[in-house]
């Protein structure tokens, strides 16, 4: 009989064989603080609470349904939408014909933020990062020829959730589909917006009233529709580690249940229709384990806090999307491999539906070619791999079961802390989740820049040549022109008395809680009110929410391990001070309606650690507002972070405004998702330097300091004489 080795015996043998390699090199620690051993045995399965469960049975670790993919594979979705409703409709029909089973709608930022396309604030955003929807007529065109009684539709919408969902309901009615036959999901997850994505409109408290009104309406009238998709996806995209993603997402879900229960709803009447949305990144086994842990955590906390009687209220059902943050501009075809690995992890974790990102999304919106590869990735997994032949094939894995347990235990510590704070709304008001995610994002960037974390083609194994990729470019000016023409036509043909009555009802209802807001929005959209008009009707009472931006400090410098590089930056800054007797001041601007601020925050945090004076502007600024603030702060540099394809409009407008204000001695740097083909356009417009996806923060700092120093030598007298 062979000797039975435990982990410690094995480590001793391995150390003898490796002759001197220290044990701490064999045991790794994840960004979540979880220690990963090089070997797991059956002894590691002892005392794991979740181990004896079966699929479809509490606590649902092995899946929400007993038979899982053996009876029904996951739903193949593609998150898409661009330009006009007509163009998006064509794209959807092609995807459906090619095997797509559900639609996931991406709306443009103007729609997200409750503005009509004719509003000057959204001039650069209309149709750029999603489809423009102003009225029911746009929604009807979006689903023209797509039977809404047969197609499941997922809509990523939070800020302007009321007019968008109401327009969908009315579009179904006018297609002949009653509200009770509509199936799909509306994201309706506003708490996450205040933490990371920032496409909010109203303050937290009235926003939670909107969420509970939608839950109430859908639970009564829309039995096939999920009233909320509680999203961890955007948390991971913003830099959260997997424990944070788990804990904050579960805590958000518990807060939504509290809001609905406080409204008088019975938990079992709506909780079975709640759904979730997680990101799937490149840590393969951890991501699969995360979904298993999420199901345990949801089942445990719902039962503990709300004493449900229907076990379906404890079932966590989820959609997943492969990570956008893991996609790289460099060697973009590598992204096909990354997406495949992430999709496999999501499936092995037991997702109910899946969206696979296109390989070119680190550069621009996906083309038909790239979207086809992304979609076929799922079809191949479903039909060629045997993955759908067995339920939870990773069950019993020594490693996966331990990771599942570690994630449960670590996430529970944060969930308990949030409960002690009074729930997620209180935690968000304190800034706790946002700060923790920003620290995690900054640490991750420092690990990448110092090569503690390797990304193939970015910080190691770089290619000598750049692959040229065809990208989708939206003619934003033409899209906006078409939308304004449609708006003008609708406004000239509708009954404006009915519209005004509908809007007045919405404003009055905002002052009390006696009427359901979604019901009133359905009436208003039937009368051909617009997204902007109905959003403004609430804004008159609720106001439009603004938040002061802040940054974390002493995180990047403490994580980055090359102190020589940091010393070089200090020396360069000292040379600058000899010219101007002060350090460089950079004003970080987020222009337009794009609320994704991970890049801007990481740059700001790192530059601050380097000794650069960083002033962070508020979100959603116009170019003129950004220039005004930069001048007030006496900035040497304006840094612009762009992720929503508005760079060809917003950045030239910013530079024109600088010239207009006789402040063109202020340099402009930009970074983010900007296609290489647009670089020369921006340089010609006056941009000094562009930092694309995967750029090293340290390299960026060197270039900013060098360019600013040289520029100041030339412009010193001009800058000092400028009248502010």
Show which residues are catalytic: 79, 233-234, 590, 594, 596
Nearest alpha carbon to residue 687 among 640, 720, 634: 640
The Cα-based distances of 398 to 47, 291, 721 in angstroms read 13, 17, 70
Q: Alpha-carbon dihedral of residues 677, 679, 682, 686, nearest 10 degrees?
A: -150
Q: Which residue has the tokens 């503990």?
A: 304
Dist. CA 504–CA 493, nearest whole Å: 20
- For strand 28-29 and strand 35-36, is the pairing parallel, antiparallel, or unpaired? antiparallel
Helices (H), 265-397: 267-270, 284-306, 334-349, 368-384
Residue 192's SS3 state is: helix
Rounded to 10°, the helix 398-421/242-262 angle is: 50
DSSP output for 278-307: EEE-S-HHHHHHHHHHHHHHHHHHHHHHH-
Residues comprising the chain, all counted: 724
**C-alpha neighbours within 13 Å on the C-beta side of residue 569:** 23
CA distance 399 to 405: 10
Q: How many CB atoms lie within 10 A of CB 716?
A: 13
d(CA 552, CA 445): 13
The token duo for 26 is 């064999």
* Residue for token pair 């797991």: 40
């Amino acid at each position: 009989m062979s000797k039975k080795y435990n982990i410690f015996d094995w480590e001793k043998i391995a150390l003898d064989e490796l002759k001197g390699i220290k044990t701490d090199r064999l045991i790794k620690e994840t960004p979540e603080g979880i220690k990963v051993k090089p070997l797991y045995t059956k002894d590691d399965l002892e005392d794991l609470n979740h181990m004896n469960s079966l699929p479809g049975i509490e606590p649902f670790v092995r899946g929400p349904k007993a038979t899982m993919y053996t009876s029904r594979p996951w739903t193949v979705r593609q998150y898409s939408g661009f330009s006009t409703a007509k163009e998006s409709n064509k794209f959807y029909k092609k995807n459906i014909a090619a095997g797509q089973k559900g639609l996931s709608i991406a709306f443009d930022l103007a729609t997200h933020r409750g503005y009509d396309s004719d509003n000057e604030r959204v001039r650069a955003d209309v149709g750029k990062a999603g489809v423009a929807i102003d009225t029911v007529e746009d929604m009807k065109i979006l689903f023209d020829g797509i039977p809404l009684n047969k197609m499941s539709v997922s809509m990523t919408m939070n800020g302007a959730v009321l007019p968008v969902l109401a327009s969908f309901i009315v579009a179904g009615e006018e297609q002949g589909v009653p509200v009770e036959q509509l199936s799909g999901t509306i994201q309706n997850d506003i708490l996450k917006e205040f933490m990371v994505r920032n496409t909010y409109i109203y303050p937290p408290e009235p926003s939670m009233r909107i969420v509970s009104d939608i839950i109430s309406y859908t639970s009564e009238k829309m039995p096939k529709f999920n009233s909320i998709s509680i999203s961890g996806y955007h948390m991971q995209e913003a830099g959260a580690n997997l424990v944070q993603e788990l804990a904050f997402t579960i805590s958000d879900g518990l807060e939504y249940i509290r809001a609905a229960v406080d409204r008088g709803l019975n938990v079992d009447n709506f909780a079975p229709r709640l759904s979730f949305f997680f990101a799937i990144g490149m840590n393969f086994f951890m991501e699969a384990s995360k979904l298993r842990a999420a199901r345990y955590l949801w089942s445990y906390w719902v039962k503990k806090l709300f004493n449900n009687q229907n076990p379906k209220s404890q079932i966590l059902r989820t959609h997943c999307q492969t990570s956008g943050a893991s996609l790289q501009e460099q060697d973009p075809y590598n992204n096909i491999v990354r997406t495949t690995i992430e999709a496999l992890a999501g499936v092995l974790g037991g997702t109910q539906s899946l969206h696979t990102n296109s390989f070119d999304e680190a550069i621009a919106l996906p083309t038909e070619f790239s979207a086809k590869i992304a979609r076929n990735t799922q079809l191949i997994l479903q039909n060629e791999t045997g993955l759908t032949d067995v339920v939870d094939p990773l069950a019993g894995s020594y490693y996966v079961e331990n990771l599942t347990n570690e994630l449960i235990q670590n996430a529970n510590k944060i969930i308990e802390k949030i409960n002690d704070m009074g729930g997620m709304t209180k935690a968000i008001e304190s800034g706790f989740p946002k700060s923790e995610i920003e620290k995690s994002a900054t640490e991750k960037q420092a690990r990448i820049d110092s090569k503690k974390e390797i990304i193939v083609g970015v910080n190691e194994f770089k290619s000598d040549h750049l692959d040229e990729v065809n990208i989708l470019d939206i003619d934003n000016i033409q899209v906006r022109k078409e939308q304004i023409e449609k708006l003008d036509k609708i406004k000239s043909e509708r009954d404006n008395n009915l519209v005004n009555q509908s809007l007045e009802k919405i404003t009055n209802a905002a002052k009390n809680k006696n009427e359901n807001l979604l019901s009133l929005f359905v009436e208003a959209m039937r009368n051909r009110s617009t997204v902007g008009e109905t959003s403004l009707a609430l804004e008159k009472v609720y106001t439009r929410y603004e938040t002061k931006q802040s940054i974390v400090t002493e995180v990047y410098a403490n994580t980055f391990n090359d102190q020589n590089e940091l010393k070089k930056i200090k020396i360069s800054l000292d040379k600058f001070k000899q010219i101007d007797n002060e350090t460089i001041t950079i004003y970080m601007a987020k222009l337009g309606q794009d609320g994704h601020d991970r890049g801007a925050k990481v740059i700001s945090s790192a530059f601050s650690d380097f000794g650069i004076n960083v002033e962070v502007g508020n979100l959603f600024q116009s170019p003129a507002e950004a220039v005004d603030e930069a001048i007030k702060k006496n900035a040497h540099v304006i840094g612009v972070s762009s992720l929503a394809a508005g760079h060809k409009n917003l950045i030239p407008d910013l530079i024109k405004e600088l010239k207009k204000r006789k402040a063109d001695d202020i340099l402009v740097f930009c970074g983010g998702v900007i296609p290489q083909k647009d670089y020369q356009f921006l340089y010609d417009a006056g941009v000094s330097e562009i930092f694309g996806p995967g750029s090293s923060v340290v390299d960026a700092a060197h270039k900013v300091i060098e360019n600013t120093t040289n520029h100041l030598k030339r412009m010193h007298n001009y800058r000092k004489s400028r009248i502010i």
